[in-house]
A and B are shown apart, each in its own frame.
Chain A
Amino acid sequence: MRPGYDIPELLERFKKGQVSAAARLITILENGGIDAEAVLDGIFHMTSNAYRVGFTGPPGAGKSSLIFRLTKKFREKDKKIGIIAIDPTSPFSGGALLGDRIRMQALSDDPEVFVRSLASRGSLGGISNCTDEVTDLMDAFGKDLILIETVGVGQSELEIAEKAHTVVVILVPESGDGIQAMKAGLMEIGDIFVMNKADHKDAELAAMEIEDTLKLKKIADDAWRPRVILTSAKEDRGTGEFAGLIEEHRVYLEQSGLFLKKRRQILFSRVKNALMDKMERRLRASESVKNIMADRMDDVYEGRLSPFRLVHELEKIVTIK
Protein backbone atom coordinates (compact mmCIF):
# COMPACT_ATOMS: atom_id res chain seq x y z
CA MET A 1 0.00 0.00 0.00
CA ARG A 2 1.19 3.45 -0.78
CA PRO A 3 0.94 5.88 2.08
CA GLY A 4 -0.87 9.14 1.47
CA TYR A 5 0.95 12.38 1.99
CA ASP A 6 0.44 15.70 3.66
CA ILE A 7 2.35 18.47 1.91
CA PRO A 8 2.65 20.94 4.84
CA GLU A 9 3.91 18.14 7.08
CA LEU A 10 6.40 17.03 4.42
CA LEU A 11 7.62 20.60 4.00
CA GLU A 12 8.17 20.85 7.76
CA ARG A 13 10.27 17.70 7.76
CA PHE A 14 12.05 18.87 4.60
CA LYS A 15 13.11 22.07 6.36
CA LYS A 16 14.56 19.95 9.15
CA GLY A 17 16.72 18.20 6.57
CA GLN A 18 14.96 14.84 6.41
CA VAL A 19 15.94 12.93 3.29
CA SER A 20 12.76 10.86 3.23
CA ALA A 21 10.66 14.04 3.09
CA ALA A 22 12.80 15.52 0.31
CA ALA A 23 12.51 12.25 -1.62
CA ARG A 24 8.71 12.19 -1.32
CA LEU A 25 8.44 15.84 -2.37
CA ILE A 26 10.45 14.99 -5.50
CA THR A 27 7.95 12.24 -6.29
CA ILE A 28 5.14 14.78 -5.98
CA LEU A 29 6.99 17.17 -8.31
CA GLU A 30 7.46 14.33 -10.79
CA ASN A 31 3.79 13.50 -10.80
CA GLY A 32 2.85 17.07 -11.63
CA GLY A 33 -0.50 18.78 -11.20
CA ILE A 34 -1.74 21.00 -8.38
CA ASP A 35 0.25 19.17 -5.71
CA ALA A 36 3.49 19.78 -7.58
CA GLU A 37 2.61 23.46 -7.76
CA ALA A 38 2.01 23.53 -4.01
CA VAL A 39 5.40 21.92 -3.37
CA LEU A 40 7.21 24.43 -5.58
CA ASP A 41 5.34 27.27 -3.86
CA GLY A 42 6.56 25.89 -0.55
CA ILE A 43 10.25 25.67 -1.43
CA PHE A 44 10.95 28.25 -4.12
CA HIS A 45 11.80 31.03 -1.66
CA MET A 46 14.44 28.72 -0.15
CA THR A 47 16.43 28.33 -3.37
CA SER A 48 19.70 30.18 -3.23
CA ASN A 49 21.64 29.95 -6.44
CA ALA A 50 23.07 26.47 -6.11
CA TYR A 51 25.41 25.97 -9.02
CA ARG A 52 23.92 23.77 -11.75
CA VAL A 53 26.10 21.67 -14.02
CA GLY A 54 24.60 19.66 -16.88
CA PHE A 55 26.31 16.59 -18.35
CA THR A 56 25.41 15.36 -21.77
CA GLY A 57 26.88 13.16 -24.49
CA PRO A 58 26.26 9.84 -26.18
CA PRO A 59 25.22 6.75 -24.20
CA GLY A 60 28.14 4.84 -22.76
CA ALA A 61 30.56 7.78 -22.83
CA GLY A 62 31.01 7.54 -19.07
CA LYS A 63 28.73 10.30 -17.79
CA SER A 64 27.73 8.48 -14.59
CA SER A 65 31.27 7.32 -13.86
CA LEU A 66 32.68 10.82 -14.31
CA ILE A 67 29.97 12.33 -12.14
CA PHE A 68 30.94 9.81 -9.47
CA ARG A 69 34.61 10.85 -9.68
CA LEU A 70 33.76 14.55 -9.70
CA THR A 71 31.51 14.18 -6.70
CA LYS A 72 34.38 12.62 -4.79
CA LYS A 73 36.58 15.60 -5.71
CA PHE A 74 33.98 18.16 -4.70
CA ARG A 75 33.32 16.33 -1.45
CA GLU A 76 36.99 16.81 -0.55
CA LYS A 77 36.19 20.53 -0.64
CA ASP A 78 33.14 19.91 1.52
CA LYS A 79 30.62 20.85 -1.14
CA LYS A 80 27.17 19.34 -0.66
CA ILE A 81 26.09 17.58 -3.81
CA GLY A 82 22.76 16.79 -5.44
CA ILE A 83 22.73 14.49 -8.44
CA ILE A 84 19.82 14.15 -10.84
CA ALA A 85 20.29 11.20 -13.18
CA ILE A 86 17.84 10.95 -16.05
CA ASP A 87 17.24 7.85 -18.15
CA PRO A 88 14.71 7.34 -20.93
CA THR A 89 11.15 6.17 -20.45
CA SER A 90 10.09 3.48 -22.91
CA PRO A 91 7.54 4.97 -25.32
CA PHE A 92 6.03 1.50 -25.62
CA SER A 93 5.51 0.37 -22.05
CA GLY A 94 5.85 3.67 -20.16
CA GLY A 95 8.37 1.89 -17.93
CA ALA A 96 12.00 2.79 -17.46
CA LEU A 97 15.21 1.15 -16.35
CA LEU A 98 17.19 3.70 -14.36
CA GLY A 99 20.73 2.42 -14.11
CA ASP A 100 22.88 5.45 -13.38
CA ARG A 101 23.19 4.59 -9.70
CA ILE A 102 25.23 1.51 -10.56
CA ARG A 103 28.27 3.72 -11.15
CA MET A 104 27.58 5.88 -8.12
CA GLN A 105 26.90 3.32 -5.42
CA ALA A 106 29.92 4.27 -3.37
CA LEU A 107 28.19 7.61 -2.76
CA SER A 108 25.12 6.22 -1.05
CA ASP A 109 26.68 6.15 2.40
CA ASP A 110 27.58 9.85 2.26
CA PRO A 111 24.75 11.85 3.86
CA GLU A 112 25.76 15.03 2.02
CA VAL A 113 25.17 13.45 -1.38
CA PHE A 114 21.61 13.04 -2.62
CA VAL A 115 21.17 11.01 -5.79
CA ARG A 116 17.82 10.85 -7.52
CA SER A 117 17.06 8.92 -10.69
CA LEU A 118 14.34 10.33 -12.93
CA ALA A 119 12.66 8.76 -15.94
CA SER A 120 12.26 11.13 -18.89
CA ARG A 121 8.50 10.36 -19.00
CA GLY A 122 7.80 11.45 -22.53
CA SER A 123 9.92 14.59 -22.59
CA LEU A 124 11.98 14.68 -25.77
CA GLY A 125 14.72 17.11 -24.78
CA GLY A 126 16.99 14.59 -23.07
CA ILE A 127 15.77 15.49 -19.61
CA SER A 128 12.61 15.08 -17.58
CA ASN A 129 9.89 17.75 -17.58
CA CYS A 130 10.35 18.26 -13.87
CA THR A 131 14.13 18.71 -13.97
CA ASP A 132 13.92 22.40 -13.05
CA GLU A 133 11.67 21.76 -10.10
CA VAL A 134 13.71 18.85 -8.76
CA THR A 135 16.84 21.00 -9.10
CA ASP A 136 15.10 23.75 -7.11
CA LEU A 137 14.20 21.26 -4.44
CA MET A 138 17.79 20.05 -4.08
CA ASP A 139 18.91 23.67 -4.00
CA ALA A 140 16.40 24.45 -1.24
CA PHE A 141 17.59 21.31 0.58
CA GLY A 142 20.98 22.97 0.96
CA LYS A 143 23.01 21.44 -1.85
CA ASP A 144 25.80 23.68 -3.17
CA LEU A 145 26.28 21.96 -6.45
CA ILE A 146 23.70 20.13 -8.52
CA LEU A 147 24.90 17.75 -11.20
CA ILE A 148 22.34 16.88 -13.85
CA GLU A 149 22.96 13.87 -16.06
CA THR A 150 20.84 13.81 -19.21
CA VAL A 151 19.81 10.65 -21.06
CA GLY A 152 22.50 9.76 -23.58
CA VAL A 153 21.89 12.18 -26.40
CA GLY A 154 22.51 12.67 -30.06
CA GLN A 155 21.75 15.86 -31.88
CA SER A 156 18.51 17.36 -30.81
CA GLU A 157 18.31 16.79 -27.09
CA LEU A 158 19.77 20.09 -26.04
CA GLU A 159 17.35 21.33 -23.42
CA ILE A 160 19.99 21.00 -20.75
CA ALA A 161 21.54 24.20 -22.10
CA GLU A 162 18.49 26.03 -20.74
CA LYS A 163 18.86 24.54 -17.26
CA ALA A 164 22.52 24.61 -16.35
CA HIS A 165 25.15 27.23 -15.60
CA THR A 166 27.90 25.03 -16.99
CA VAL A 167 27.27 22.49 -19.73
CA VAL A 168 29.71 19.59 -19.98
CA VAL A 169 29.73 17.47 -23.13
CA ILE A 170 31.29 14.06 -22.60
CA LEU A 171 32.60 12.23 -25.65
CA VAL A 172 34.71 9.15 -26.26
CA PRO A 173 37.25 8.35 -28.99
CA GLU A 174 34.94 5.67 -30.41
CA SER A 175 32.38 8.37 -31.16
CA GLY A 176 34.48 8.84 -34.32
CA ASP A 177 32.29 9.97 -37.13
CA GLY A 178 29.50 10.37 -34.65
CA ILE A 179 31.26 13.52 -33.51
CA GLN A 180 30.87 14.93 -36.99
CA ALA A 181 27.16 14.35 -36.83
CA MET A 182 26.96 16.03 -33.47
CA LYS A 183 28.74 19.20 -34.45
CA ALA A 184 25.59 21.11 -35.19
CA GLY A 185 23.97 20.41 -31.87
CA LEU A 186 26.19 19.36 -29.01
CA MET A 187 29.23 21.29 -30.19
CA GLU A 188 27.31 24.52 -29.76
CA ILE A 189 26.20 24.10 -26.18
CA GLY A 190 29.32 22.82 -24.40
CA ASP A 191 31.35 25.00 -22.06
CA ILE A 192 33.65 22.07 -21.34
CA PHE A 193 34.29 19.12 -23.64
CA VAL A 194 35.55 15.97 -22.01
CA MET A 195 37.23 13.26 -24.03
CA ASN A 196 36.78 10.33 -21.69
CA LYS A 197 38.52 6.96 -21.94
CA ALA A 198 41.88 8.70 -22.27
CA ASP A 199 43.56 5.29 -22.17
CA HIS A 200 42.20 4.60 -25.65
CA LYS A 201 44.86 4.88 -28.37
CA ASP A 202 42.88 7.42 -30.40
CA ALA A 203 41.92 9.62 -27.47
CA GLU A 204 44.44 12.40 -28.02
CA LEU A 205 43.73 12.61 -31.70
CA ALA A 206 39.99 12.77 -31.02
CA ALA A 207 40.51 15.55 -28.48
CA MET A 208 42.52 17.50 -31.04
CA GLU A 209 39.71 17.14 -33.56
CA ILE A 210 37.33 18.68 -31.06
CA GLU A 211 39.77 21.53 -30.44
CA ASP A 212 39.96 22.11 -34.19
CA THR A 213 36.21 22.20 -34.54
CA LEU A 214 35.93 24.66 -31.68
CA LYS A 215 38.55 26.93 -33.22
CA LEU A 216 36.25 27.52 -36.15
CA LYS A 217 33.80 29.20 -33.84
CA LYS A 218 33.95 32.98 -33.53
CA ILE A 219 34.35 33.89 -29.89
CA ALA A 220 34.81 37.39 -28.48
CA ASP A 221 38.11 38.02 -26.72
CA ASP A 222 36.63 38.34 -23.28
CA ALA A 223 34.17 35.47 -23.69
CA TRP A 224 34.58 31.95 -22.36
CA ARG A 225 36.43 29.78 -24.83
CA PRO A 226 35.13 26.20 -24.56
CA ARG A 227 37.79 23.92 -23.15
CA VAL A 228 38.72 20.38 -24.03
CA ILE A 229 40.07 17.95 -21.48
CA LEU A 230 41.14 14.30 -21.50
CA THR A 231 39.96 12.10 -18.65
CA SER A 232 39.76 8.48 -17.67
CA ALA A 233 36.91 7.86 -15.27
CA LYS A 234 38.08 4.26 -14.92
CA GLU A 235 41.56 5.20 -13.77
CA ASP A 236 40.51 8.48 -12.14
CA ARG A 237 42.86 10.44 -14.39
CA GLY A 238 42.28 14.07 -15.33
CA THR A 239 39.30 14.26 -13.02
CA GLY A 240 40.87 16.73 -10.58
CA GLU A 241 41.66 19.02 -13.46
CA PHE A 242 38.11 18.54 -14.74
CA ALA A 243 36.68 19.63 -11.39
CA GLY A 244 39.01 22.63 -11.55
CA LEU A 245 37.68 23.60 -14.98
CA ILE A 246 34.10 23.60 -13.75
CA GLU A 247 35.18 25.86 -10.90
CA GLU A 248 37.03 28.10 -13.36
CA HIS A 249 33.90 28.44 -15.50
CA ARG A 250 31.84 29.29 -12.44
CA VAL A 251 34.30 32.02 -11.46
CA TYR A 252 34.23 33.34 -15.02
CA LEU A 253 30.42 33.54 -14.98
CA GLU A 254 30.42 35.30 -11.65
CA GLN A 255 33.09 37.84 -12.48
CA SER A 256 31.62 38.66 -15.87
CA GLY A 257 28.16 39.15 -14.43
CA LEU A 258 26.89 36.32 -16.59
CA PHE A 259 25.91 34.20 -13.63
CA LEU A 260 23.03 36.47 -12.74
CA LYS A 261 22.14 36.91 -16.37
CA LYS A 262 22.06 33.18 -16.87
CA ARG A 263 19.93 32.68 -13.78
CA ARG A 264 17.46 35.20 -15.18
CA GLN A 265 17.47 33.48 -18.56
CA ILE A 266 16.80 30.13 -16.92
CA LEU A 267 13.86 31.51 -14.96
CA PHE A 268 12.52 33.45 -17.93
CA SER A 269 12.45 30.37 -20.13
CA ARG A 270 10.85 28.39 -17.31
CA VAL A 271 7.96 30.77 -17.01
CA LYS A 272 7.53 30.78 -20.77
CA ASN A 273 7.67 27.00 -21.06
CA ALA A 274 5.29 26.48 -18.16
CA LEU A 275 2.84 28.90 -19.74
CA MET A 276 3.05 27.11 -23.08
CA ASP A 277 2.51 23.76 -21.38
CA LYS A 278 -0.52 25.01 -19.55
CA MET A 279 -2.00 26.63 -22.66
CA GLU A 280 -1.40 23.50 -24.66
CA ARG A 281 -3.10 21.37 -22.05
CA ARG A 282 -6.07 23.74 -21.96
CA LEU A 283 -6.34 23.73 -25.73
CA ARG A 284 -6.17 19.96 -25.86
CA ALA A 285 -8.93 19.72 -23.30
CA SER A 286 -11.12 22.36 -24.91
CA GLU A 287 -14.53 21.04 -25.94
CA SER A 288 -15.18 23.86 -28.38
CA VAL A 289 -11.95 23.16 -30.23
CA LYS A 290 -12.90 19.50 -30.42
CA ASN A 291 -16.38 20.36 -31.69
CA ILE A 292 -15.21 22.73 -34.39
CA MET A 293 -12.65 20.20 -35.53
CA ALA A 294 -15.25 17.46 -35.64
CA ASP A 295 -17.40 19.75 -37.82
CA ARG A 296 -14.78 21.17 -40.10
CA MET A 297 -12.16 18.48 -40.63
CA ASP A 298 -14.25 17.00 -43.46
CA ASP A 299 -13.74 20.24 -45.39
CA VAL A 300 -10.00 19.81 -44.95
CA TYR A 301 -10.15 16.14 -45.94
CA GLU A 302 -12.11 17.04 -49.08
CA GLY A 303 -9.74 19.83 -50.04
CA ARG A 304 -12.29 22.65 -49.55
CA LEU A 305 -10.44 24.23 -46.67
CA SER A 306 -6.73 24.56 -46.09
CA PRO A 307 -5.32 23.53 -42.69
CA PHE A 308 -4.22 27.12 -42.04
CA ARG A 309 -7.71 28.46 -42.75
CA LEU A 310 -9.21 26.08 -40.20
CA VAL A 311 -6.60 27.14 -37.66
CA HIS A 312 -7.69 30.76 -38.21
CA GLU A 313 -11.23 29.75 -37.35
CA LEU A 314 -10.05 27.90 -34.26
CA GLU A 315 -7.95 30.84 -33.17
CA LYS A 316 -11.04 32.98 -32.92
CA ILE A 317 -12.31 31.02 -29.94
CA VAL A 318 -9.03 31.41 -28.08
CA THR A 319 -9.05 34.74 -26.35
CA ILE A 320 -5.73 36.14 -25.27
CA LYS A 321 -5.73 39.85 -24.68
Chain B
Amino acid sequence: MMADIDRQTLLDLIDTGVQIVDVLPEREFQSGHIPGAVNIPLKKLNVQTTSVLQRDEPVVVY
Protein backbone atom coordinates (compact mmCIF):
# COMPACT_ATOMS: atom_id res chain seq x y z
CA MET B 1 0.00 0.00 0.00
CA MET B 2 1.29 3.46 -0.90
CA ALA B 3 -0.32 6.86 -0.23
CA ASP B 4 0.48 10.55 -0.39
CA ILE B 5 0.07 12.28 2.94
CA ASP B 6 -0.09 15.85 4.22
CA ARG B 7 1.58 17.35 7.29
CA GLN B 8 -1.26 16.63 9.70
CA THR B 9 -1.35 13.00 8.68
CA LEU B 10 2.39 12.80 9.20
CA LEU B 11 2.04 14.26 12.71
CA ASP B 12 -0.65 11.70 13.50
CA LEU B 13 1.59 8.90 12.22
CA ILE B 14 4.49 10.15 14.34
CA ASP B 15 2.25 9.97 17.39
CA THR B 16 1.37 6.37 16.71
CA GLY B 17 4.84 5.33 15.58
CA VAL B 18 6.32 5.50 12.13
CA GLN B 19 9.70 5.19 10.46
CA ILE B 20 10.74 8.31 8.57
CA VAL B 21 13.21 8.25 5.70
CA ASP B 22 14.79 11.40 4.30
CA VAL B 23 16.01 10.66 0.78
CA LEU B 24 17.67 14.02 0.24
CA PRO B 25 21.46 14.17 -0.17
CA GLU B 26 23.39 13.86 3.09
CA ARG B 27 24.41 17.51 3.15
CA GLU B 28 20.80 18.67 3.00
CA PHE B 29 19.83 16.11 5.63
CA GLN B 30 22.54 17.39 7.96
CA SER B 31 21.35 20.95 7.64
CA GLY B 32 17.92 20.05 8.95
CA HIS B 33 15.51 17.13 8.91
CA ILE B 34 12.35 15.91 10.57
CA PRO B 35 13.19 14.64 14.07
CA GLY B 36 13.74 10.91 14.14
CA ALA B 37 14.29 10.62 10.38
CA VAL B 38 17.05 8.46 8.99
CA ASN B 39 18.95 9.51 5.90
CA ILE B 40 19.09 7.18 2.92
CA PRO B 41 19.80 9.35 -0.13
CA LEU B 42 17.76 8.34 -3.15
CA LYS B 43 20.88 7.28 -5.05
CA LYS B 44 21.73 4.85 -2.24
CA LEU B 45 18.24 3.48 -1.73
CA ASN B 46 18.35 -0.28 -2.19
CA VAL B 47 17.47 -3.51 -0.40
CA GLN B 48 20.69 -3.45 1.59
CA THR B 49 20.51 0.17 2.79
CA THR B 50 16.86 -0.22 3.76
CA SER B 51 17.58 -3.32 5.81
CA VAL B 52 17.81 -1.08 8.91
CA LEU B 53 14.05 -0.48 8.57
CA GLN B 54 11.15 -2.74 9.54
CA ARG B 55 9.30 -3.82 6.40
CA ASP B 56 6.11 -4.64 8.27
CA GLU B 57 5.98 -1.24 10.01
CA PRO B 58 4.70 1.95 8.36
CA VAL B 59 7.33 4.12 6.71
CA VAL B 60 7.14 7.73 5.55
CA VAL B 61 9.47 8.99 2.87
CA TYR B 62 10.19 12.57 1.90
Asked if A pairs with B, the answer is no
Seen from chain A, the residues whose Cβ lies within 8 Å of a Cβ on chain B are none
